[in-house]
A and B are shown apart, each in its own frame.
Chain A
Amino acid sequence: MYISLLQYISVSLAAILVILSLLLFFIRIYKKLQRTKKDIVKTKTIQLIEELVLKINNPEYHPDWINPNLELILDFKKNYIDTSEFERKIVTHELLTLHRSLKDIASERIRDLYIRLGLDQIALNLLKNKKSYDHPKIIWELGQMRIIESIDLIKACLKYQDDKEIQIEASVALLVLQIDNPLVGIEHFTHMNKGQKQYFIESCKKLDQRNIPDFSLGFSSTNIHVVEICLILCDYFKQNYDSEIVRKLLKSPNPDITVAVANLLFKTNNYVLIKELLATIQNIEDVYVQVNLMKQIKLLEIKDLLDDLVDVINNPDTVDEVKLEALRSACRLSEKFDQTFTLEHIHVVDEKIKKMFLHAQERLI
């Protein structure tokens, strides 16, 4: 009995081995063919875009530009969109990439082309399917192409508690789509860790600058994550802000907010508020934050802040790590920096501080 059972098992395993081996070689060949096919579809898409989008005679944008070219577009749709998912994905990818890199009329025409090829409807249908790994990509696509019909579906994605990636992409897309209340997506996050915040910010940076909302709107939010993210994005997109609201944020007990405010002040060279920040640096509980602020000052290269730095170094409440960074920043800020200068200004010249000072000097090599 055992022998016949084992015979049966070995024959089955041998059959599986043969099938898998054939599959292996089939996949190898299939992938090679796919690469060739991908190149062809890519070339055809670029040709279509060159023909319809890049050869623009009239600099004014009219939505009806598409009508005379409808036949060409429908022909392309029939050959490359309706035939296979593989080809559709390549076309979509090319359109999205070019939409991001091109400007004004060319970008708008790519969006029109995207809609006329029916890619928006396909994306909406895919989003309607139950949770899928493709969702973040589709949400980003719909957001970038400003497909207003997708708002409700994207809002529903905010409820995916167990998939932060989908939630984040949904709130990023809503920044562009929900013009009356762009921060509705981020407001949804009551808890967000550092990594997720960074991921969110990176996703926002993919947005088209022409469609981003005014992030300073979020400075007054009661949600701490919204405030921090908006500070960072306001800084990144170089938007204007109200100094008085930012001054209030300097008193925030949250170290992340302090860092974000400081970054904004540094990038916008708001010296008045930077001086206020330095004067109260010891009040920041997190030493790491204090150290980082000192590092930032070094990058500013503004000599006016030298006295404020010396005050920080001489303050007995300043911890060693912060003194070290303040020293290093002072090195950078002082044009005629030498040891005499430093010793004149530092009261506590113990061995440890000296060592730190030497270290600061050597870093300049």
Chain B
Amino acid sequence: MDILLFALSIIMVFYALFVVLCYVWMVYSAYGEMEKYKKANDYIDYSLLLSSPLVPGISIIAPAYNEELNINYNVKSLLSLYYNLYEVIVVNDGSKDQTLQQLIEEFDLVKVNFYQQNKLNTQAIRGIYRSKNHLYFRLTVVDKENGGKADALNAGINVAKFELTATIDVDCILDNNVLLKLARPFLTHGKDVIAVGGAVKVANSSTIFNGRILDVKLPQSLLAKLQVLEYIRAFSIGRLSWSSINSLILVSGALGVFNKKVLIESGAYQTDTVGEDIELIVRMRKHKQKQNKPSKVVYVPEPLCWTEVPEDVNVLIGQRNRWTRGAIDTLLRHKDLLLNGKYGALGLFAIPYWYIIEWFSFIIQFVGFFATLILIISGLVNLKLLFLIALCSLLFYWILSVIALLLEENSYSRNPEDGSVFKLWLLIFIEPIIYHPINIYAAIRGNISYFKGNKSWGNMSRKGLN
């Protein structure tokens, strides 16, 4: 028994060291990457890119399901982005409400007999609509049978005419310059770039007018505020650091631009997974590797997309449960990538990181919590030692959060509100105690649901941003 406990302790010490080293490296590389981006971005005249006829065309695909409340505002905001060559394809995924009717009336749509290439199999298309009003010449609406987000995106890809495909959540608020910023890596890095993503921020309680963010504010709800902190940490440290060694495997489903050719060749979105965003990137990378061609996934560290986060604990748990299932599904589908040197840093570092930190760590924390309780009750643990270990872990966690805030503050942050940083700083101290356990609980439920074969999206009801 003693030997077993000793072996477990050694494993846990090495695990803790691995986690600490991982985060130290991530902070270091995220800082370097941000400085590099800022300097390169400093002298770019985006207005030139805006007026250029040479920019790659972008087809924005926005799947919509029961979005009647905000659909008109959101589509208008998509139609007024700053870019020379783009189209907007809204895919009505068999909504049960008046989403389609709203669009038809607002944008003067008529059904057209559109010639479709049908490169990807999807649920039946009921009709394709275009506007009689020349103001909305960029807009195409696809009405189809319900098949889920991935199926709707594939239907949009079939209709898309440009070489780049941007997929967004229709309820997100986009920055006017989003397409200019996301198209640039395709110009500078060339055809190696298969996908580009941007930072996603929390929009709850911000002032929004006509589908545009006017004033960025901290959310009023505590749960949403804590998610602001979590998003800052994930994007300022996580995405940037993996992007620095070209090992990013996640471009947020809320906002991403893809090379359409590679997207179609690699089979586009899979309809039998709930983590279609992460799964797609991994598959696209594998596809390029099979062709012996390099692939690059670029992260643009600027706030380009605002989303509404759940303010209800049950909805949050449901969302995280789905994210966990999506990640596990992707990791197991593509397990051949694990420690596979053929994929370079992706196989040797990024994928093991996802296994150890994004998947197993929640299980370890969950089991560790109960094991510690048992040890305390049975008096087998030195309480002072336990307290110090817990304190060190907390301090490390707090330091990471402060660094994330620092990186955010040193970048393109849009927190002009006086006192917002101080409020976030205060939240850092309560986050691991009241918010992190919710995440652990959701991840454990996600693990159980995954192995039970649950593939549902769950309840994602929100208040709406307008």
A residues in contact (CB < 8 Å) with B: 2-3, 6-7, 9-10, 13-14, 16-17, 20-21, 23-25, 27-28, 31, 133-134, 136-137, 140, 164-165, 193-196, 198-199, 201-202, 205-206, 232, 324, 355-356, 358-359, 362, 365
Contacts and interface: CB of A to CB of B under 8 A. Distances in A.
Contact of B130 (A21, A193, A232, A362): A362
Given A6-B392, A21-B402, 11 more contacts: A3-B388, A6-B389, A9-B392, A14-B395, A16-B399, A25-B422, A136-B40, A194-B190, A195-B191, A205-B52, A362-B112
Nearest 9 CB-CB pairings of A with B: A195-B190, A193-B190, A359-B115, A13-B395, A6-B388, A133-B39, A137-B43, A362-B112, A20-B402
6 contacts: A17-B402, A24-B406, A25-B425, A136-B40, A193-B191, A195-B189
Nearest to B109: A365
Interface string B377-416: 0000010110011011001101100110110011000000
Contact of B110 (A164, A194, A195, A365): A365
B427 interface: no
B292 interface: no
A10 B110 CA distance: 67
Contacts, number: 113
B320 to A, nearest CB: 27
Among B384, B388, B405, max chain A CB count under 10 A is at B388
A235 B394 CA distance: 62
B1 to A, nearest CB: 20
B163 to A, nearest CB: 9
Contacts of B36: 133
Contact of B114 (A14, A232, A359): A359
Contacts of A25: 421-422, 425
Contacts of A199: 187-188
B40 to A, nearest CB: 6
- Looking at chain B's contact residues, the main secondary structure is helix
Nearest to A96: B43
Contacts of A194: 190-191
A273 to B, nearest CB: 20
A146 to B, nearest CB: 18
Nearest to B131: A365
Contacts of A14: 395
Contacts of B389: 6
A10 B399 contact: no
Contacts of A17: 395, 398-399, 402
Given A10-B392, A24-B405, A202 B48 contact: yes
A264 B142 CA distance: 36
Given A9-B392, A362-B112, A3 B385 contact: yes
Contacts of B187: 195, 198-199, 202
B402 A24 contact: yes
